[in-house]
Each structure stands twice: as C-alpha cells, then as structure tokens.
Amino acid sequence: MYKKILAITMAALLFLAGVNPAFAQDGNDNPPDGTIALTIVHTNDTHGQYKNSASTVGFEKVKAIADKENADLILDAGDAFHGLPFATIEQGKSTAELLRAVGYDAVCPGNHDFNYGAAALKALGTEEPAVKTEDSEGRADKAQKNFKLLNANVVNASDGQNYFQPYMTKTVTRGEEVSVKVGVFGLISPDIYSSTAPENVKDVRFDDAVEAAKKTVSKLKNDEKCDVIIALTHIGMTEKEGMLSSRDIAKAVPEINVIIDGHTHAQYDEVVGNTLIAQTGAYFSNAGIVKIFYEPDSRKIVNTVGRVISPADAEAYESNWEVSKTIEDIEARQKPVLNQVVGKTDVPLEGSAIKTYTGETNLGRVITSAYLETTGADIAFENCGGIRASIAAGDITKGSVIGVSPFGNYLVTKKITGADLKSILEKSLEMGANNLKAYQEGKHEWPANGGGSYLQIGGMKVAYDPARSLDNRLVSVDIGGAPLDLDSTYTVVTNQFVASNASKYPELAVKPELNQYGASEEAVMRYITNHSGKEEWVALMSEKNLKAVGGSGDTGTQPGNEAVENQNPMTDPSEEDPKQTSGTQNITGTGENAPTGVFDNKAGAAIFAAAALAVLILGAAVFKHESDYRQQKEK
C-alpha cells in the first residue's frame, strides 16, 4: 500500500510539473521505443539579425545545431529578409545567401519580407547558390542548396494563381526499410496585408488562410500521400478580436501535425488539439527544435515535442566555419558603405519602441524635419512603428540611419483640410494613450487600436489635455505661427505606408497624392549632413512639438512625455519592438505521452507550489492513515 501511495503522489507531482516520466530526462525529446525521431530546426522573425552574440543565436549556430541534431528539415517562418542594415542594404540578398549557406529547406514569407516588393521577394528564392570556396586553412565549402519560398494563400491579383510555390515534400529515410514522407506548406495572415506599403503587394492578393490550408492539406494527404504535415506560418497567436490566430488554423485543420509559426514575436511550444504550435520569439533571441516521434509500423505519430535554444544554450554548439566565413565575406563587402559618416550628434537620438510608441522623441523630430525640408510641406508625420532603432551619441553613419528606417519607404505629399488634421491628431493621441496604458499594465502586445500608427509630428506645435474625453483632447494647434484653421488646406508629407493606411487614418488615405519623393532614409541622411551640430539642430533636441497641458494630474504619464523604461517592451503584430531578450527553455508536446507544459510566470509557479504542497500533505495524510491502520491491526 505504501508503494502505491508513493507512486500516486509522485505521479501527481509529475503531472502538476508538466513532466511525463517517459520524457523527464535528456531534454524530454528521447524517442519512445518503436519510433523514429524526425527533427526540425526552426527560426522566425530574425529581422536582419544574423550573427551569434550574447543575445542572438545567429546563423552560424543554427547550422551547427542542425548538424549536431541531425536535422531533417530547417525552416523559417518569415520576416528574415528585412530589418537591420545587413539585410536592407542588399535588399535581402545577404540574408538569402546565409539561408542557403545554412541549408534551409523552406521559408514562409512574412509581411516585412514584402518591403522590397513581391517580385523582388520572389527572386530571392530563385537565385543560384554560391560557388564553392576555400578558407585560409584550405577547407572547401560544401555545395549549397537553394531554399523554397512557400506560401499557399498569396495569389496573383490578375488570375488567382499561386504566386509562390504552395508546398514541398521531402522523404526522410532511416536505413533501407523506413521512409516517411513529409509535406510542408506556407501561410500568411490576410489581416497583415496592409502591414507593408500597397505598392509592394499591388500585384498579389492574400486569400483566406483557413481555406487555403484545408485545400493544401487535402492535396498533401490524398494526392501526395504524406505521412506528416507541417504548416509554416506567418500568423502568430493573438487574442485580438477579429484577427486570425495560428490556433484557428490548428482547430480548423486538425490534420496538421506541427505549425512552425511567426509574426507575433512570442516564444511558445503550445499544443492545440493534437497540433504542436512553435514560435521562438524574435530577433534571433532563440532558435527552435521540434521532434516528431513517428511509429513506422502503425504509420502514426506517437508524440511531438518542442524546445528552444537560447544564445547561452547555443554556446554548446561549435559555430559552423562555412557560415562564419560567409558572414565575414558579406560584412567585408558592406563595410565601406555602412561606415560612411553622414553627421554627428552630441546626444543619443531616441528611437526605442517604448519611447516612440508613447510620446515624442528627438529622433522623431529629426525625421519629420527632414521630410519637411525635402518636400517643402507644411506639416509632417512619421508612424512610430517606422522608427526601428536609436542612434548613439557620436558619429552618425549611413548604417545607423538605415537601421532607423529600414523599410525602403518613400515620401508622399497630400493636401488635407484643417478638419482632417484635427481628426488625425485626435486619433493619434488616443493611440498613444492606449499604448502607454497597455505598457504600464505590462501587457505583451500593443493594443489593436494603437500600436505602430501613433504619430511623431513636425511643422506644428500641439497642446492637448489628456483629461478630456475622446476626440476633444486638443487644446491648440499652431502651424507656421498661425492657429489651425479647420477650413484651410495644408500640405502634409509622410511615408507611403502612413499615407495609404485607410484603417487608421482614412482622412489621409482617401486624398490623392500630390507628389512622390525619394527614400525616407535618404531624406534623413541629407538633413543630418546639412544640419547636425548647428544651432537649429541643438534646438531640435529640446524644443518639443507635443505638450500635455491642463488639469490632468501627472502629465509625465501621458503621451508626449516619455515613458519610464521599467517594464519589458511590448510588440504589435505588424510593427514590432526590436528590443527582445532571449527566452528560457520551454518544452511541451502532443500525444499520449506528451508533457503538459512548464510554468513560465510567477502566478503559474505559485499555483504549482500550492498544488504540489497540497499533494504532499494529502500523501502524508494517507500514509499516516495507512500506518495507523497497520498499528491497529498489529494490536
């Protein structure tokens, strides 16, 4: 009886801890008897990050991980080709070169991968692999293979045909008798069609992802006779009402065994039904490993487990020399361009998401001033989601400016009325207030009605009262020394993304373009070269365009006053915060023998501790009862 009590107590503890006895050791990923392990190494949302460091895994480590773990597939869930200057200066070609060097099998394009245009993106998947080279020690590169750009719901706008290859298959063998056919297909959320400039996606259409998934899975199952089906998705898990979540895909198409996910910059290995959904975070804060345990005799999946590899974990893997050499070669050819000095600043130029999403910054004023000087417009806007980095004090290089504005955006001018401007400013103030509230509450995502569309402004002085009700916060707006006239018209300059963003600023989106100008980052570079260090530059560092006034109490917690960085930054699914920290390892799985998960927050840990204590007390009570019973019996 005692042994039974002990067994029950230990089993309960293991259940609460999310640990299954069969997978409690060796990373919870040893194959059960009679199965083979199919191994997937995956990444997502690297946004131009490429090199191993204390906070990033890097492609040289991904290759090492894939080799040591005997990966059957290497997959990426999107937003790889755009972000840091390393990627943007060659319009994604440098990243594509590294993907080939690592040996990626497939990439699902993300919304930011379309920033160079759909045609340019498609070309990245068709370029020829690099030729073999040798390093200083005479070691020759292995022959590279090209990756597939996979997507099943992006189609030609003209005829509805798939724009990218919708799926691929790969037969994995173990010895002479065992073979498993794996099907992989791609999806992107139609909700983020507008998360790149319209010009970039004018020739394509984002169709319903659920319907595309059902159609493609049916083909993989019935026509291709696949044993295992993997969805490679740029969708993410979101709780925002009306937005597609990767959970929706798993529920609607349960035949999918694994979803390798991206877009929302979260780290999870979550089970929905019998589908494991895995995402590694963002900015190379982790790489991921998924193992599918397949039983050849029954031709069934017994279990699926996932875990992440942090930069600290990656130290156990020796960097692959071939990929390291490719990185060195790319850096060498880019260095002369990126290191060109365009100006100097005595103070840091603030571009962090926490500051730009919740108030005005000196970098925001530099950008809008550059737009005004380039176009001669009356007023200027820059969406905070379009500002991707800060600039440190000292020399300002081309590379640092490209890092701030990596989207390849161009400037657009339009005419709007004073009434339009009032409406736009009121909406922006509401977005900033929502952003700040969400940040102060410690929420992971920027709110759906805020996020990256909050505006940095130029060419005007705006005072507002945050204590007032929605659409009535403006106290005064001064343009060129004169108060705002609701009946007058004003020329506004912004990037083409903001100018066409009908979901946030329809007053602006419906207006016809007056003119198009050059790239946003080029305008900023020119302004910095012409003005940095001069009197007007010094004034720009301190003279704010946006000020909270009135009886609102603590105006330091209102939009227009910088938030205090005392919590983790948040991300919006469309316009992410580039500051991410590497996550801790987390393992979950599917199937009868799957672990149920581990707690990764204080509340969960507290619940576990209380429940574990209760189980121990219960076990002790039962044991005492059994002991007393034995003593009575012996008497």
Q: What is the CATH number of the domain that holds 452?
A: 3.90.780.10
Task: Please state the rounded mean pLDDT for residues 526-536.
Answer: 96
**pTM of the model as a whole:** 0.70
**Same domain assignment for residues 352 and 304:** no
* Complete DSSP assignment for 504-567: T-HHHHTSPEEEEEEEHHHHHHHHHHHHTTSHHHHHHHH--SEEE-SS-S-GGGSTTSPPP--S
Residue 578 lies in a domain: no
DSSP structure class, residue 339: T
Residue 85, pLDDT score: 83
Residue 598, pLDDT score: 28
pLDDT of 541 higher than 70: yes
Residue 269 lies in a domain: yes
Instruction: Give residue 456's domain range.
Output: 340-557
Q: How confident is the model at residue 238 (pLDDT cuts 50, 70, 90)?
A: confident
**Same domain assignment for residues 485 and 540:** yes
Q: CA–CA distance from 252 to each of 217, 368, 598 (Å)?
A: 11, 45, 26
**Same domain assignment for residues 245 and 317:** yes
Last residue of a domain, one of 331, 356, 379: 331
Q: Which amino acid is residue 270, in one-letter code?
A: E
**Same domain assignment for residues 400 and 344:** yes
Residue 412 lies in a domain: yes
Q: How confident is the model at residue 126 (pLDDT cuts 50, 70, 90)?
A: confident
**Same domain assignment for residues 180 and 241:** yes
**Same domain assignment for residues 193 and 324:** yes
Residue 613 lies in a domain: no
Residue 451 lies in a domain: yes
**Same domain assignment for residues 317 and 395:** no
**Same domain assignment for residues 313 and 177:** yes
**Same domain assignment for residues 311 and 350:** no
Residue 71 lies in a domain: yes
4 vs 117, which has greater pLDDT? 117
**Bridging pattern class, strands 228-234 and 178-188:** parallel
Residue 448, pLDDT score: 56
Domain count, the chain: 2
Residue 581 lies in a domain: no
Residue 629 lies in a domain: no
**Same domain assignment for residues 233 and 382:** no
- 287: helix, strand or coil: strand
Last residue of a domain, one of 291, 311, 331: 331
Last residue of a domain, one of 534, 557, 580: 557
**Same domain assignment for residues 327 and 359:** no
**Same domain assignment for residues 376 and 288:** no
pLDDT of 75 higher than 70: yes
544 vs 22, which has greater pLDDT? 544
Task: State residue 134 phi and psi, 5-degree precision.
Answer: -125, 150
Q: What is the CATH number of the domain that holds 71?
A: 3.60.21.10
Contact 201, 249 (CB under 8 A): no
Average pLDDT of the chain is: 83
Residue 445, pLDDT score: 66
Sheet of 588-591, strand order:
148-149, 106-107, 73-76, 36-43, 287-295, 300-309, 588-591
